[in-house]
Amino acid sequence: MRILLVEDDINLRTQLHRHLEDSGLVVDTAEDGEVGLYYGREYDYDAAIIDLGLPKMDGLALIKTLRAECRDFPMLILTAREHWEDKVGGLEAGADDYLTKPFHMEELLARLNALIRRSAGFASPIISSEGLILDTAKKEVRLDGTLIELTAFEYKVLEYLMLSPNRVISKTELTDHLYDQDYDRDSNVIEVFVGRLRKKLARTAQPAQIRTVRGQGYRFVTEST
């Protein structure tokens, strides 16, 4: 999952960056509204965390501009302003949630996850398909009731695929959303990870749920198709 973080305080920015990465997210950071706008226009994010009091371009203006340009990824306002006037203003400008500083990191992560899930169309933190259960809150995967041990990256791949079921997802999209920019795009690491994931989720007498679409990418197939 690729996240845009727009925050002007350097300490909080670095700290958040670290924590978000630790929880398995890919993070782009911007220190002011203009940089934030640039990133928001250029890249496709799964969610954004935006401070309201930003230099050069106010957070509200940033949200409004991005929404006006049909950037529809979920946005969470993270700010010290806790007046309801500001909260309502932010939500009306197009933000999806609001968290005031100081905050608990767990809460921020929980809300961010919920936003990502919600924008993918899942109301519950638990996504299931044919006995395969993905708990986005606990970051756990169970197959027919048994806990499956996955590495952090394997989990990220599975989560990304399961959040967009039955859609063909290219390798480029996967790398964009799951890897930092400095990743070597030519390597076939994705293929290796998808292969290992398939092996761990394999069940006898059932077709694999992660299908390869030749020349295009991967698709997570659910029972309905």
Partner 1 sequence: MKLGLQKRLIIITTLLLGCFLGITGWVLDRSFTASVEAGAQEQLRLVVYGLMGIAEESGSSLVFPDVLPEPRLSQPESGLYAAVQDAQGNLIWSSPSLQTSDTRLSEFTQPGVPGSFQFEKHGQQFDMKYSVIWVAADESLFTFRVMTDRKSYRSEITEFRKNLTIGLVAATVLFILGQFVAVAWGLRPIRSMENQVRQLESGSRKRLGVEFPPELQGLAANLDRYIEHEENSRIRYKMAMENLAHSLKTPLAVVRNELQSEKKANSKLIEEQLDHMQNTVRYQLSRASSAQSSLIIGSVPLAPLIQRLVSAISKAYVEKRIELDVEVQENLSVRVNESDLMEILGNLIENAFKYGRSKIRVCAHPAKNLTMADDLALIEISIEDDGLGVKSAMRKEVLSRGTRADTSIAGQGIGLSVVADLVASYGGSVEILEADMGGARLKLTLPA
Closest CA to 49 of 69, 84, 70, 9: 9
Span interacting with partner 1, options 83-91, 148-156, 198-206, 217-225, rule CB under 8 A: 83-91
Q: What is the distance between the alpha carbons of residues 63 and 45, in angstroms, rounded to a whole number? A: 14
- Contact characters 7-26, partner 1, x per CB under 8 A: --x-xx--xx-xx-------
How many residues line the site for partner 1 (CB under 8 A)?
Answer: 31
61 three-state secondary structure = helix
Query: Which residue from 44, 69, 72, 82 is in contact with partner 1, where contact means CB under 8 A?
Result: 82
The residue to which tokens 């993918």 are assigned: 120
Query: Which residue from 80, 137, 152, 202 is in contact with partner 1, where contact means CB under 8 A?
Result: 80
What sections of the chain are H helices per DSSP? 10-22, 33-42, 59-68, 84-93, 105-119, 152-163, 171-178, 189-201
Q: For partner 1, which is the closer residue by CB, 120 or 143?
A: 120
Length of the chain: 225
Strands 75-79 and 97-100, bridge-based pairing: parallel
Query: Which residue from 39, 45, 98, 220 is in contact with partner 1, where contact means CB under 8 A?
Result: 98
Binding flag, residue 96, partner 1 (CB under 8 A): yes
Binding flag, residue 56, partner 1 (CB under 8 A): no
Q: What sign does the CA torsion over 82, 83, 87, 90 have?
A: negative
Residues in contact with partner 1 by the rule CB under 8 A: 9, 11-12, 15-16, 18-19, 53, 80-85, 87-88, 91-92, 96-98, 100-105, 114, 118, 123-124
